């Protein structure tokens, strides 16, 4: 549940998140994840932290904004922590839509209030809130 935010651990983090997504997405493993506490821990400790923009992401954006935007889009082939976290959240929504949505809405409200109370300094929280995919927001 914990890796550093350093880019050298990105492959490990994305592989672990991808593995967790495959487990959450299978009906046969539903019993492992159905408690609200488990879902809350996954969202709070894995999804949200990996949706947050890191310093390395900011540097990449400053170096090549177009490439950063392309890599951050859903259609991109790159495997980032952010993208894998979104995939994990979608898998959770497929199995536990109501519970996951309720937990995410609480997190989104918290992140947006952090942004509002910081006079815009916590823009990273707002970005993560906007990047959180929910079933009723999907096309």
76 within domain boundaries: yes
Q: How many domains does the chain have?
A: 1
pLDDT of 28: 93
Residue ranges making up the domain that contains 74: 7-132
pLDDT of 134: 67
Question: Has this prediction a pTM greater than 0.75?
Answer: yes
123 within domain boundaries: yes
102 within domain boundaries: yes
Q: What is the pLDDT along the chain (139 residues), one digit of tens a residue?
A: 566 777 788 889 999 999 999 999 999 999 999 999 999 999 999 999 998 988 888 898 899 988 888 877 665 666 888 889 989 999 999 999 999 999 999 999 999 999 999 887 889 888 888 887 765 554 3
138 within domain boundaries: no
Write out pLDDT tens, residues 37-47: 999 999 999 99
User: Could you give the CA distance from residue 76 to residue 73 in angstroms, rounded to a whole number?
Assistant: 6
2 within domain boundaries: no
pLDDT of 91: 93
User: Could you give the CA distance from residue 123 to residue 128 in angstroms, rounded to a whole number?
Assistant: 9
1 within domain boundaries: no
């Amino acid at each position: 549940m914990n890796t550093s935010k350093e880019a050298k651990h990105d492959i490990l983090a994305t592989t672990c998140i991808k593995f967790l997504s495959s487990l959450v997405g299978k009906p046969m493993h539903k019993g492992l994840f159905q408690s609200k506490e488990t879902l809350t821990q996954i969202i709070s400790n894995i999804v949200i932290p990996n949706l947050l923009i890191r310093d390395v992401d900011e540097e990449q954006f400053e170096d090549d904004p177009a490439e950063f935007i392309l890599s951050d889009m859903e259609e991109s082939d790159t495997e980032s922590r952010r993208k894998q976290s979104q995939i994990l959240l979608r898998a959770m929504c497929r199995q536990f839509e109501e519970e996951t949505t309720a937990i995410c809405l609480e997190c989104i409200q918290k992140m947006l209030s952090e942004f509002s109370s910081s006079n815009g300094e916590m823009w990273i929280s707002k970005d993560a809130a906007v990047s959180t995919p929910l079933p009723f927001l999907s096309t």
